[in-house]
Amino acid sequence: MKDRCDIAIVGGGVIGLSIAYNLAVRGVRDVVVVEGGYLAGGASGRNGGGIRQQWSTRRNIQLMQESLAICKRFAKELGVNIWLRQGGYLFLSKNEAETARLEKNIKLQNDYGVPTRMLSPREALEVVPELDTSRFVAASYNPTDGILFPWPFLWGYADGARKRGVEIHTHTRVTAIERGDGFLVRTTRGDVQAKRVVNAAGAWSPEVARLLGIELPNWPVRHEILSSEPLKPFLRPMVSVLGNGLYFSQSMRGEVVGGITVHEERTNEIKMGSTLRFTQTIARAMIEVIPRFGELKIVRQWAGPYDMTEDGNPIIGEAVPGFYLCCGFMGHGFMMAPVMGKLYADWLSGGPKHEIFDRWRLARFTEGNLEKEDFIIG
């Protein structure tokens, strides 16, 4: 590891790597990424790969439009196939209240050019013929949402960053961060003196911030997910049930990949073990909306940490001079990473600072200026 650098990024997940790559593209190449495990070891490698523009606030809708645009250019720009497939997202509502929520969001989405529309259960059958129409009353459908394969996305950013001079150190844990002439970042494989530090450690970000005596309010929640045997392509959109947080889609490998909310007591412990309770909960929920899933074989299940915040929005911006945060992505960091990396790199390379860096700064939790994003799924 080099002795000195301009920017040290803690966390080799998709957020950290996206920032590193985008910085390097803008000529800021004196960057070191430090990852405690392997690339894709945390939530970045454990998520369902969904990318949607169906959100409930203007900011998130617009950010996700830009993220999707970046995803569409990704293969060409980075030379790696991310298996992006725009099969849409179909949200099922089970009652009037949920339908009203969808309608309100659709109006906002349409205002910003996202072609989401409301479908009756019968119309939804044209999109997914296997659905049991007695199980929902309406659906919102945006055909331009999609899914991608998370792992190559990370490798694309990592290779792109490395080629431009960024150092990426995996299996290298940060043990201390000391202030004074920037930051001395001590790791299990040597120390680096950095002018600036970015905390992109996801569910581990409170631990990293604590090394500087900064308390973060985000907390980890185990989120489980499973994959089926591969089937021939039959399912175009990601299907999600609003009431219980179920979502599932068919990957380009043919597997049905799905997750669901299972409530657990809040703790600060990062749990990544699998539970039978999850398997039972999701099996029942999936069979309820598509009865033929009863015969679908589960091949494996795993878990990853959602990195939760009180208002459903991330924690970004400068916490103390020179120490930047990019965490609290609520299980939706993967889809946010392309645009976040771009905006962060614009700012840190001397370009414009987007208003989200003030809006979503750490201080909002103590100032009480919270705008709630209620379209967090899973």
Choose which of 2, 4, 27, 38 interacts with another protein (CB under 8 A): 38
Backbone φ, ψ for residue 52 (5° rounding): -135, 155
| Beta carbons within 10 angstroms of residue 291's beta carbon | 13
Measured distance CA(201)–CA(153) in Å, rounded: 17
Stretch that binds another protein, among 56-64, 67-75, 285-293, 353-361 (CB under 8 A): 285-293
Measured distance CA(256)–CA(234) in Å, rounded: 10
Give me 209's structure tokens: 């911030």
299 is an interface residue for another protein by CB under 8 A? yes
Measured distance CA(45)–CA(15) in Å, rounded: 12
CA distances from 78 to 69, 123, 152, 305 (A): 14, 38, 10, 27
Burial of 113 (0-12, 13-18, 19+ CB in 10 A): exposed
Backbone φ, ψ for residue 345 (5° rounding): -65, -35
Q: Could you give the string, one character per residue 302-341, with x where binding to another protein holds by CB under 8 A and - elsewhere?
A: x---------------------------------------
Site size toward another protein (CB under 8 A) is 29
Q: Could you give the string, one character per residue 169-188, with x where binding to another protein holds by CB under 8 A and - elsewhere?
A: -xx-----------------
CA distances from 277 to 79, 120, 272 (A): 41, 32, 14
Residues 117 to 176 in contact with another protein, rule: CB under 8 A: 151, 155, 170-171
45 is an interface residue for another protein by CB under 8 A? yes
Q: Could you give the string, one character per residue 219-238, with x where binding to another protein holds by CB under 8 A and - elsewhere?
A: ----------x---------
Stretch that binds another protein, among 119-127, 172-180, 194-202, 272-280 (CB under 8 A): 272-280
154 within 8 A of 17, measured Cβ to Cβ: yes
CB of 338 to another protein, least distance (A): 20
Which CB, 118 or 283, lies closer to another protein? 283
Which CB, 70 or 283, lies closer to another protein? 283
Which CB, 232 or 297, lies closer to another protein? 297
Choose which of 107, 210, 284, 372 interacts with another protein (CB under 8 A): 284
217 within 8 A of 311, measured Cβ to Cβ: no
Which CB, 133 or 170, lies closer to another protein? 170
Strand pairing of 167-169 and 31-34?
A: parallel
Strands (E), 2-113: 4-10, 31-34, 50-51, 89-93
167 within 8 A of 3, measured Cβ to Cβ: no
Stretch that binds another protein, among 102-110, 231-239, 269-277, 312-320 (CB under 8 A): 269-277
111 is an interface residue for another protein by CB under 8 A? no
287 is an interface residue for another protein by CB under 8 A? yes
Choose which of 31, 32, 39, 241 interacts with another protein (CB under 8 A): 39
Choose which of 217, 274, 320, 322 interacts with another protein (CB under 8 A): 274
Q: Which residues bind another protein (CB under 8 A)?
A: 38-41, 45, 151, 155, 170-171, 229, 274, 276-277, 279-280, 283-284, 286-287, 293-302
